[in-house]
Amino acid sequence: MKASATKKPRIPVKRKTRILTPLHMISAAFALLIGFALYAAFVPPSVTGSLTDWVIAYGGFLSVHEVQDHTGVSTLAATQAVEERRPLAFVPEQIALSYNQTGSDDLAAELVRMAKGKQGDAWDATAIALIAEARNRSSFWQPWIKTLPAVFPYSQTFTEAQRDGLVGTPGETYFRLHEAMVKKILKKTSAMNYFQETGEVTLDEAVWAVGAGIHMMVDDVFAPGLTDSLAKHWNPLKCVEVFSETIEYKGMPGYVLVAPRDIKKHERLYKWAGPIGSAEMLAMYGQAPPENPHGFTSRINPTGDKESKQKWGAEIASKTDCRPDDFTKVVFKLGPEMVSERQIRCVSMFMVDETKLKGAERLDAMAFFEVWPRVEELARPEWIKMEDDFYANLVESCSSQKEALSAASPDSLRALEESDDPLDKRIVAVREQLVDLLTRCEEDFSERRKQLPQKLIQQALEEAAAEAAAEALRTAAPAEEVAELGEVTA
């Protein structure tokens, strides 16, 4: 038995009182400003655009760390271990509503069916994946997004004209899968509120979850091997779950992505290098080989040898202006665009060629697949104008937010920069990253507007003006008829 120790009297410690100086108050006020700016930056300026565009605009502000690749070159990377049942991201309902959700089982089955059909190897899963990314940024997608209702099921908003235009084209596959997916998305899997603000979820993790979860890129469709062995590959279905039970977070209704029940603690879900340019690209290409985080081998028959890949690339190059390397190697770039649009476009062009469609059906398929640079004679003016308006809104939003950050007093900024206080240093760092992010957003989308065919934008404006004039005449016609009738009666 231990002897009881005599308690010593507790001597009160006189704590040093920290006096709030004007500098501290300025720091606190600036912290509030940064907090507001961060909130504004990560709320999409428009819900009419796809989540892809939102992530491209705001996805550069990430929690990342520096690593070295196999050549010794430093790059940014993000790796994340996720615990079982851990909330990954909160997705506002309006964003979810404006996004494509494709059924994994249906899409995997469709890929296998196409691989065994007429298209053969040309319809490999990676080409489908590239097209899926392309179509979310295409002018074709914008009219569809515009028709979205306030609540699910949104895929029923296809007009008869849209359906007729897609029947017989590769686009038919997608809207059929959309309709099949609505029921699956709407199914309530749990009534529990899984989302808790723990402060442990990093933005890069949340962006990955949005890309893999909301887009439902599962059954390895977006990181495939041969199409007849999809089930043997990495299955993101075991990484992310979407809970359709809408909850409210900070006054916004939305959905929660969580790690599913069968995830083992600290299972590594992905390894990724480079600033994020698109959540789909991240989920699409899966894990970068650790020996080469900058480049991926071809996802078109990745198990094939180098000779077979070169032969496949040469076959495509013979039908387009593309190079074999556009298909056999995917290279990351430091910037908002992770995979070159040329590569996506080259695969798109080849896929359309393989459809063997003619006339109007070929034009529909081309409009569906088309990405930068635009093929002017195939794009519809109203689609291009709609896309131009969307990018203009993004530019305006980023510009106004940057101006708000720049409105801070130079003296206050100088005091913060010269301060040794860790909080002050963090405020300065956050502000610099945010200004850089908003500047990139402004520049990138301004550049995208320049790339749009201006001739078609002008044509769309003229057509809209003509339609408005015709409508004005139609409105005025009944009044004139009444006036004429009055004269006859008199």
Peptide bond into 9 cis (omega under 30): no
Residue 421 scores a pLDDT above 70: yes
Q: Average pLDDT, stretch 220-241?
A: 28
Residues of the chain with pLDDT > 70, as a percent, come to: 11
For 120-163, what is each residue's pLDDT tens digit? 222 233 333 333 333 344 333 333 334 333 322 222 334 455 45
Exposed e or buried b for every residue in 323-346, given b needs 16+ CB within 10 A? ebbbbbebebeeebbbbebebbbb
For 358-371, what is each residue's pLDDT tens digit? 554 444 444 444 33
Residue 182 and residue 156 in contact, taking contact as beta carbons nearer than 8 Å? yes
Q: Which residue has the higher pLDDT, 409 or 286?
A: 409
Q: Average pLDDT, stretch 56-69?
A: 31
Question: Is 444 strand, coil or helix?
Answer: helix
Backbone angles phi, psi at 246, to 5 degrees: -70, 135
Amino acid occupying residue 411: D
Q: Which residue has the higher pLDDT, 43 or 438?
A: 438
Residue 333 and residue 342 in contact, taking contact as beta carbons nearer than 8 Å? no
- Could you list the beta-strand ranges (E) of 274-374: 295-297, 329-331
**What pLDDT is stored for residue 419 in this prediction?**
80
**What pLDDT is stored for residue 205 in this prediction?**
31
Inter-helix orientation angle 51-58/422-451, to 10°: 130
Count Cβ atoms below 10 Å from residue 77 Cβ, excluding itself: 18
Q: Average pLDDT, stretch 216-239?
A: 27
* Highest mean pLDDT, choosing among 110-114, 161-165, 260-264, 384-388: 384-388
Residue 12 scores a pLDDT above 50: no
CA dihedral 218, 220, 221, 224 (to 10 degrees): 170
**d(C-alpha 364, C-alpha 165), whole Å:** 7
Residue 467 scores a pLDDT above 50: yes
Residue 457 scores a pLDDT above 70: yes
Q: Which residue has the higher pLDDT, 401 or 72?
A: 401
**What pLDDT is stored for residue 246 in this prediction?**
55
Residue 192 and residue 183 in contact, taking contact as beta carbons nearer than 8 Å? no
Residues forming a β-bridge with 243: 256
Residues forming a β-bridge with 89: 257
Peptide bond into 149 cis (omega under 30): no
Mean model confidence pLDDT for the chain = 46
Interstrand relation of 295-297 and 329-331 (parallel, antiparallel or unpaired): antiparallel
Backbone angles phi, psi at 376, to 5 degrees: -60, -40
For 72-118, what is each residue's pLDDT tens digit? 544 333 333 333 333 433 444 433 333 333 333 333 343 344 334 33
Residue 285 and residue 222 in contact, taking contact as beta carbons nearer than 8 Å? yes
Report how far Cα 375 is from the mean position of its chain's Cα atoms: 23
This model's pTM is above 0.75: no
Residue 172 scores a pLDDT above 70: no
- Domains of the chain by range and CATH? 51-274 (3.90.1410.10), 294-473 (3.90.1420.10)
**d(C-alpha 214, C-alpha 489), whole Å:** 66
**What pLDDT is stored for residue 407 in this prediction?**
66
Inter-helix orientation angle 341-355/359-369, to 10°: 160
Q: Residues in the chain, how many?
A: 490
**d(C-alpha 263, C-alpha 240), whole Å:** 9
Residues of the chain with pLDDT > 90, as a percent, come to: 0
Residue 219 scores a pLDDT above 50: no
Residue 422 scores a pLDDT above 60: yes
Residue 224 scores a pLDDT above 80: no
Distances (CA, A) of 175 to 47, 157, 218: 21, 10, 18
HSE-CB of 410 using CA atoms within 13 angstroms: 0
Question: Is 373 strand, coil or helix?
Answer: coil
**What pLDDT is stored for residue 161 in this prediction?**
52
For 299-316, what is each residue's pLDDT tens digit? 222 233 445 545 655 665
Distances (CA, A) of 473 to 462, 468, 486: 17, 9, 20
Q: Average pLDDT, stretch 326-343?
A: 44
Residue 271 and residue 234 in contact, taking contact as beta carbons nearer than 8 Å? no
Amino acid occupying residue 79: T
Q: Is residue 385 very low, low, confident or very high in pLDDT (cuts 50, 70, 90)?
A: confident
**d(C-alpha 27, C-alpha 428), whole Å:** 10
Q: Hey, what are 78's tokens?
A: 């993000």
Residue 209 scores a pLDDT above 80: no
Residue 210 scores a pLDDT above 70: no
Residue 282 scores a pLDDT above 80: no
Residue 445 scores a pLDDT above 50: yes
**d(C-alpha 405, C-alpha 333), whole Å:** 28
Q: Average pLDDT, stretch 393-414?
A: 70
Q: Is residue 454 very low, low, confident or very high in pLDDT (cuts 50, 70, 90)?
A: confident
Helix (H) or strand (E) holding 255: strand 252-258
**What pLDDT is stored for residue 321 in this prediction?**
66
* Highest mean pLDDT, choosing among 189-203, 343-357, 418-432: 418-432
Residue 385 and residue 450 in contact, taking contact as beta carbons nearer than 8 Å? no
Residue 336 and residue 275 in contact, taking contact as beta carbons nearer than 8 Å? yes
* Highest mean pLDDT, choosing among 372-376, 382-386, 471-475: 471-475
